[in-house]
Structure 1
């Protein structure tokens, strides 16, 4: 796969993730870990035909712990997001989420899947500033407020998990422990993560509360499972073959940009100059990232 195809896939990833945050907010307050396990099960069902017929579907014994760790990273992020959606403000979550690319770069340096350079961290810092500006603009339009509390702490832990996932994936690919198939890597990380988080959910959460799930919750869960879990993480795993964790997670800066566009469609009168600085910084960061990659600034490791 070419670097250009990987970047195009990550543009689609950003659009899907950006649309998933409003969808999560529409869900009823249900047990977050069990909800995450159901979401992963739906995602695995969608990925099964692709993964089963791919080469290396059955992992080697040494790969199982790595897949389990990747699965825990996914479960940690989504479980934190489901829980924090009812205990933290949207602005707080959006602000904390901009830390993911810089966290991924730092963790990638520790595992030596990122090159020591100043350009990529500078690009990530520019994107973080732009995404933060967009989050603050949205808060001003919607009347939200930034706060720090238990919900924000839980969501930040989820952000660390999100940053660690592509780092472990890249390290596993570089060492030859993980399958070359993006579908296989996504399937097993979701399957093991879903099993582990589901078991923990059964131990600590009231499973009976799932009985209060509405039909609208079920439809949203199917959408989140297929589009915001299976497809987005397949796109991320696909990009992992040619891009580094920092470059991949930098597309997270487009998430508030997508939210802004959705807001314009729903509330056209919210369009104003307040959105311009953040939008320009985010788009400039992505353009510089593409140029950095094309110029051999090396997204490969």
Structure 2
């Protein structure tokens, strides 16, 4: 069955999907500091464990669906989606110890634009000026927030091995909603968001876990503390199971560019966390980026209403 052109009524979706993606942005924004609190553990096996915890949390919901067991032709797509997730999180775990949070936040700005471009290639995005313009506005705002952090903390943007690995992870992250949308449009994937999330995480976890067992020694987990284990459970349930369920729920009606555009709120959430921990960091330097990000999200909501 060939991929269908996206219907105009499903291009940007209803307000419930947008509300869900606002929650998604909050959870993802809170997860970046948590990743930094983890010890330096094997990134591939750590990702596999995180996905296993997420699948355990999703099992009760996914198995209730009549379409829980996937068709054979859907397995390669679920595996590819899982590899996209595993690639991003493995890159993030590894890069967290080889680059700065500022550089990672700056590179993450590229994900919505990458998703839009890749969506055009697979014909799940429409070539129109409004969404790209909103994405560019949000990207500028998120970049200004990153530069504000650099200005106040004396950091510097750089591009080395750590940044290169994380950028590859960003490409993988952008591919995930594109492949999901294409699979839905072609009728290859289940209608249930829980089922799609479960199988993409399960197959991705198996594949990345097998690779991790081949290249990473299990003895490296000897340094894992009880704190690390609790953080990993939180990341698995809240920052993997819940966030990717929200993304899959939104993907049914939103396009990949619109879904990933909420990533621009991630540095905004990080900024609010910084203010809560260090009120002295509040400064006018944060205002331009914050204003652009909020404007972009408001325009995205308005564009959703207009398109519907």
| Interval of TM-score (by shorter of Structure 1 and Structure 2) | over 0.9
2:41 counterpart residue number: 30
Q: Which runs of 5+ in 1 are unaligned?
A: none
SS in structure 2 opposite 1:53?
coil
Structure 1: distance between partners of 2:216 and 2:90: 12
| 1:205-220 aligned within 5 A | 205-220=216-231
How is 1:9-20 mapped onto 2 (pairs within 5 angstroms)?
Answer: 9-20=20-31
Where structure 2 has 5 or more consecutive residues not aligned to the other structure, the ranges are: 1-9
How much has 1:147 moved relative to structure 2?
0.9
Hey, what's the Cα distance between the residues in 1 that align with 2:198 and 2:66?
Answer: 13
- Specify which of 274, 277, 283 is matched with residue 288 of structure 2: 277
Q: Deviations over 1:95-119 (max 9, x none)?
A: 1000000000000000000011011
CA contact (8 A) 1:90 1:144 kept: no
Mapping 1:30-109, distance limit 5 Å: 30-109=41-120
2:192 & 2:18 partners in 1: Cα distance? 18
Q: CA deviation at 1:142?
A: 2.2
Distance 1:193 1:145 in 2: 34
Q: Residues of 2 paired with 1:255 and 1:121: CA distance? A: 19
| Cα distance between partner residues in 1 of 2:213 and 2:156 | 34
Equivalences for residues 157-236 of structure 1 within 5 A = 157-236=168-247
- CA–CA distance in 2 between the matches of 1:212 and 1:267? 30
- Aligned length, in residue pairs: 297
For residues 235-254 of structure 1, the aligned pairs below 5 Å read 235-254=246-265
In structure 2, C-alpha distance between the alignment counterparts of 1:135 and 1:176, rounded to whole Å: 40
Distance in 1 (CA, whole Å) between partners of 2:66 and 2:153 is 49
- Three-state SS of the structure 2 residue aligned to 1:6 is helix
Question: TM-score by structure 2 length?
Answer: 0.95
Q: CA deviation at 1:145?
A: 1.5
Query: What do residues 239-284 of structure 1 show as CA deviations (whole Å, max 9, x unaligned)?
Result: 0011000000000000000000000100001111000000000000
Q: What whole-Å deviation, never above 9, does each CA across 1:122-180 have from its counterpart, x for those lacking one?
A: 10000000000001111222222211100000000000000000000000000110000
Of the candidates 135, 155, 160, which is equivalent to residue 124 of structure 1? 135
Of 136, 140, 156, the residue aligned with 2:147 is: 136
* Structure 1 residue 234: Cα displacement: 0.2
| 1:5 aligned partner | 16
Runs of at least 4 residues off by over 2 Å: none
